[in-house]
A and B are shown apart, each in its own frame.
Chain A
Amino acid sequence: MGLPAPQPLETIADDAPPEPHDTSRDTPHAVCAAAGRSREAAGAFTTLIRRFERTALAVAFAILPDPHAAGDVTQEAFVRAWQRLADLKDPDRFGPWLCNIVRNLAIDRRRRLRPGDRAQPLYEDAQPHAASATQAPGDPLEQLDRAEVRQIITAVLQSLDEVTRCAVTLRYFDSLPSKEIGRLLELSPAAVDMRLSRARLLLREKLSALAPEGTRPKAPDQ
């Protein structure tokens, strides 16, 4: 089984996000071919990191509650992968191999969390999102609405099982097609689609309970 060749958008599942994802991940071969030529191998591996970083982040974030911890695990996983590159027999399996490294490191990290930290829910949304933190202050009601949506998404993600959460993260953060997600998670594309569909359905139910737009009371000064 090889890494998917570049494929046109039409071949990606219908529920794929609109932005195309570059799946031309042939650089594992470049790294292995350059093994021993240190400069070339490191250069190819850096390219590989850029290609697979979002995938690794998605896998780590499905396990760890904190984005920074997910970032820590991801960067450590790539260094670990570089050190163990000789163990990779089939360059086509770089993605699943890397995901296993990320998953193991993330599980180790989660295990090391203090009991107090473990009691915190996954996807704790204590801090404002980076995007909203940098936004100019806008309509307070709209901000409140967005905060509610965020909380619901966080709660829904937290309620999902780990594999489904990972599939959702890979799809909506890394924009991967179902076939590639299935390869990484050892699921069939149909199983991936089913999990994604369930997650969206659950999210729709929760979000539908929100007050309709325009029905909130206006602020006094508006």
Chain B
Amino acid sequence: MRTWTDHQIEDELSRHFSARLGLQVGRAAAYFERSLAANKPARNRAAFLWTVGAGLVTATAAAIALAATLIPPPAARPHGPAVTPSASPEVASVEPSEVVWWRSLDEGTVLLDDHTPARRVRRQILEQVQWYDPRRGTQVELTVPREEVLFVNMESY
């Protein structure tokens, strides 16, 4: 029989675990840094897609709103023979839109779907469009509110 003290047993256990697991220490930090570096393009891409997507949605909404005002509402069709439209309708001359007011609201840091941090900026814009409607003989002025939400990637590496 060999006598073992508590101290010896504890030494043996410490030596055992150090021998088994010692080589594993340090892997996690290196792996974490590698995975951060590997995900960096993905983060940039995600923020870019968010920005482009939000811009497209607002631009489409603005275009639809503009088109709805430019296209005259269908006139009540009278019963009887169809009315032939004018052979040479004058084309409405639309002037380029002009930003008359805008502001950017910093809404702070948010986490995107992939848990990467990004700064959310809400941009509110008032655009004014003017054109001459030859059918009515009037100058029309339209102010279109537009809102964009931008996700700015927080570049840190």
Interface of A with B (CB < 8 Å)? 15, 17, 35-39, 41-42, 45-46, 49-50, 53-54, 56-58, 61, 67-68, 70-71, 74-79, 82-86, 129-132, 149-150, 153-154, 168-169, 171-173, 200, 203-204, 207-213
The chain A residue with its CB closest to the CB of B108 is: A36
The answer to whether residues A46 and B32 also contact, given A17-B10, A70-B21, A84-B115 and a CB cut-off of 8 A, is yes
Would you give the shortest CB distance from B137 to chain A, in whole angstroms?
57
Question: Considering the chains assembled together, what is the distance between the CA atoms of A75 and B28 in angstroms?
Answer: 4
Closest-CB distance, B61 to chain A (whole angstroms): 30
Binding site for A on B (CB under 8 A): 1-4, 6, 9-10, 12-29, 31-33, 35-36, 108-109, 111, 114-117, 154, 156-157
CB distance from A2 to the nearest CB of B (A): 24
**Residue among B9, B33, B117 making CB contact with A36, cutoff 8 Å:** B117
Question: B29 to chain A: which residues have CB within 8 Å?
Answer: 46, 49-50, 53, 78
Using known A-B contacts A75-B32, A79-B32, determine if residue A131 contacts B27 with beta carbons closer than 8 Å: no
Question: Which chain A positions have C-beta within 8 A of B2?
Answer: 207-208, 210-213
Which B residues lie within 8 Å of A35 (CB)? 109, 117
Task: Determine the chain A residues whose CB is within 8 A of the CB of B115 once the complex forms.
Answer: 82-86
Contact (A75, B12) CB under 8 Å given A129-B20, A209-B1, A212-B1? no
Could you tell me the distance between the alpha carbons of A38 and B153 in the complex, rounded to whole angstroms? 10
Q: Which of the residues B9, B15, B17, B117 comes within 8 Å of A203, measured between beta carbons? A: B9
- Report chain B residues within 8 Å CB of A54: 21, 25
**What is the chain B residue whose CB lies nearest that of A42?**
B36
* Contact status A131-B156, CB under 8 Å: no
Residues of B within 8 A of A46 (CB): 29, 32-33
Decide yes or no: A173 and B19 within 8 Å by CB, A38-B154, A45-B32 being known contacts: no
The interface residues of chain A lying within 8 Å CB-to-CB of B15 are 131
A74: shortest Cβ distance to chain B, in Å?
5
> Considering the chains assembled together, what is the distance between the CA atoms of A61 and B21 in angstroms?
8
| A61 and B23 alpha carbons, distance in the complex (Å) | 13
CA distance A57 to B19 in the complex (A): 13
| B19 engages A132 (CB within 8 Å) | yes
CA–CA, A213 to B3, complex, Å? Answer: 10
Closest chain-A Cβ to B19's Cβ sits at a distance in Å of 4
Q: Are B156 and A39 in contact (CB under 8 A)?
A: yes
CB closest residue in chain A, given B119: A36
Choice from A57, A79, A85, A153 contacting B21 with Cβ under 8 Å: A57
Chain A residues whose CB sits within 8 angstroms of the CB of B10 once the complex forms: 15, 17, 172, 200
